[in-house]
Structure 1
């Protein structure tokens, strides 16, 4: 571990600085608008704009890196993000803040791609698990430290925006001064949404639900805590406590995920989330001790949904499609994280701040209804499944390239798919729905896609 830290400390430091700035900015904007008595709808819209920028950056980032190279793209995006952060202090018009938040999300996604490219190419195949864990720890630690800054500096002045911009300026230094080999050019992997909707529908439903819940948490939990009467220091402690719970639960979750049925675990954790959120959803005002305990318990289970869904979907998708699967999962998560804060913000505006956790409880119950372990037929389960659980950041702080760091994915397959151009759309035979009841009732094995593809070409030939 010491050797890994020595080899990748510059990239870990860059990730740490980025997440400190990102975590502090999200909470600061929520508290700033709450202090100005702005509707919660705007707070949710700002977080939705950030996630929309992250999803959009997944496409634009590839093109930018391919055109100007990794270091130039990273430097340009870090500068743009820093300028957008300072723009929040120069402009008080909320529609302009939506544009600035979108720019911040877009630029940060490009930065994540550059860092992950470096980690992937420099990591030995036998050390990818440790490298991946270090990247995850740096991400969560940065988010927690961003909240704790509010404890040390509770004033909501422009100094905090300057500190966020300072973090993005510092994250430039290790990448700009690196002497390592320039990573290979990037080519995006095709997502194939129709294939994954048929193959892993329950996993996609879980990822969408996780996006709705976690996206709303990051955007609106500071506002909820403020409306509960907490001071700025207490809001920082509350957010730091909840995010730390997300880091704390990953290792026990990995132990459970490798030993028990993952669909059953998803359903169980969703039910526990519905119960844990119930006190905060019912009571308009709760004591400070209850707020911290219930918030910590909710975070313990809500941050379990996305990693379990990722591992569950990887169990039923072949290795050569896992980079595409990761892109599909992140886009699905981003869609949920863009919609969730808007819907929850409207509910908080109409019915009170407690509707945030009522929103969590409702969608947790939807997942309990949607996830059916008995419907999983395992017809497409890969030979090396069940795959080992690897904790992943749930704050959308990763690009599709993070699949290349996952030690469950074969290194040569990933490099081949990431460096090859997308395959043309070819008609395929009907896919078996692995995680649906229709597949459970099917006795016929799925047709070979390669045979179907060859047949289609033969029929189309004059």
Structure 2
């Protein structure tokens, strides 16, 4: 593992800086609006706009990378994201903030795609599980550190936006300085929504519910904590503890997932989530100890849903379709994460801030009703099921399937790599050559 950290430290650092900036920006905007007494609907809308941008970036990113190459696409998006972040400090008109959040989400998705495709091409087939785990740790750690910045610097001034922009500037350095040949151009994997809706409906329901809950958490939990009377330092600590719970639970969850029925585990997690969130849903104000304890337990459970659903769906889909499956799962998650903050924001505006956790309780109960282990026939279960559970990063792109050790490496190459169309190559040969600075071969772990 030490050799993997050494080989991929540059890309992990880039992911770490991105997520520090992203995590800090989301919480800062929520607290800034709360301080200005803006209602929760706008806070939810900002998070929904961010997830809409992420979904949009999944389409645009492939075309941009194919046209100008990985390094230039990454540098372009990092620069645009940094400018959009600073734009929040220059403009106070909320509709403009919605547009800026879309731009931030779109640019970050392109950056995810570059980092993940690079990790995949430089990781040996036997290392992909460890490389995936390292990427997951860097992602969660970045989100946690972004929250802890608020503990060290509780003032909600423009200097925090400058710090976010600095993070996106620093994430440029390891990618721009690389001497390695960048990965081959990529094209989107086919989605096949009708096929997956028929084949893995319970997994898609779980992913949609996870998106609704987790998207609402990232966007509105800081507002909820502020309405509970917590200072900025304690809000940062609360958010950091909750996100750290998501990292902490991944390893015991993997142990359970590989040894017990996954549909039953999803249903059990949903029951536990509804019970854990209930005190925060019915009490308008709670003691700080109860808030931290209940929030930690709720987060332990809410961050279990998506990885369990991914593992469950992979058990019932053939290897050659797993890249497409990942794309379908991420789109489904994005739909939920775009709708959730808006719906929860409306509820909080109408009935009080505790409605955030009432929203969690409601959709956890929907999953209890929707997930029926006895309805799993096993008709399409793959021969080697249950496949090994893989801990999931806190954020990622459709290319994260390329790092998943459950997906055959050759399938990834066949589905996600293709020559650039002839009409595109004439204008981009020079730009691609400019990125292909002499260095070692592709496919080997190397320090960037």
SS in 2 for 1:398: coil
Measure the CA separation in 1 of the matches of 2:343 and 2:393.
24
1:88-136, Cα deviation, whole Å (9 max, x unpaired): 0000000000000000000000000000011000000011111000000
- The Cα shift of 1:5 comes to 1.1
Distance in 2, matches of 1:330 and 1:383, equals 25
Gaps of 5+ in 2: 420-448
The 5-angstrom pairing of residues 213-292 of structure 1 reads: 213-292=213-292
Give the counterpart of 1:410 among 408, 411, 415.
408
For residues 155-211 of structure 1, give each alpha carbon's deviation from its aligned partner in whole angstroms, at most 9, with x where no partner exists: 000000000000000000000000112101001111010110010000000000000
Output the TM-score relative to the length of structure 2: 0.93
Output aligned runs, 1:53-202, within 5 Å.
53-202=53-202
CA distance in 2, matches of 1:416, 1:382: 21
Question: 2:371 and 2:41 mapped to 1: Cα distance?
Answer: 30
Counterpart of 2:336?
336
Task: Spell out structure 1 runs of 4+ moving beyond 4 A.
Answer: none
Aligned match of 2:399: 401
What is the number of equivalent residue pairs in this alignment? 419
| TM alignment of 1:196-211, pairs within 5 A | 196-211=196-211
Length-normalised TM-score, structure 1: 0.90
1:420: Cα distance to partner?
5.0
Are 2:185 and 2:418, in contact at CA under 8 Å, matched by a contact in 1?
Answer: no
* Higher mean C-alpha displacement, 326-335 vs 410-419: 410-419
Matches within 5 A, 1:406-445: 406-420=404-418
Return the structure number with greater relative CO, CA threshold 8 A, min gap 6: 2
- Distance in 2 (CA, whole Å) between partners of 1:301 and 1:189 is 30
Aligned to 1:304: 304
Q: Secondary structure at the match of 1:127?
A: helix
Rounded Cα–Cα distance in structure 1 between residues aligned with 2:6 and 2:305: 32
Contact 2:13 2:171 survives alignment (8 Å): yes
* Cα distance in structure 2, aligned partners of 1:342 and 1:400: 24
5+ residue gaps, structure 1: 422-462
Distance 1:106 1:414 in 2: 24
Which residue number corresponds to residue 325 of structure 1?
325
Q: Deviations over 1:276-299 (max 9, x none)?
A: 000000000000000000000000
* Residue aligned with 2:8, SS: helix
User: Please, what is the CA RMSD of the aligned residues?
Assistant: 0.7
Q: 2:344, 2:356 within 8 Å by CA — same for their partners in 1?
A: yes
Output aligned runs, 1:368-387, within 5 Å. 368-387=368-387
Partner SS, residue 194 of structure 1: helix
Q: Distance in 1 between matches of 2:116 and 2:396?
A: 8
Query: 1:413 Cα shift?
Result: 1.3
What SS class does the counterpart of residue 259 from structure 2 fall into? coil
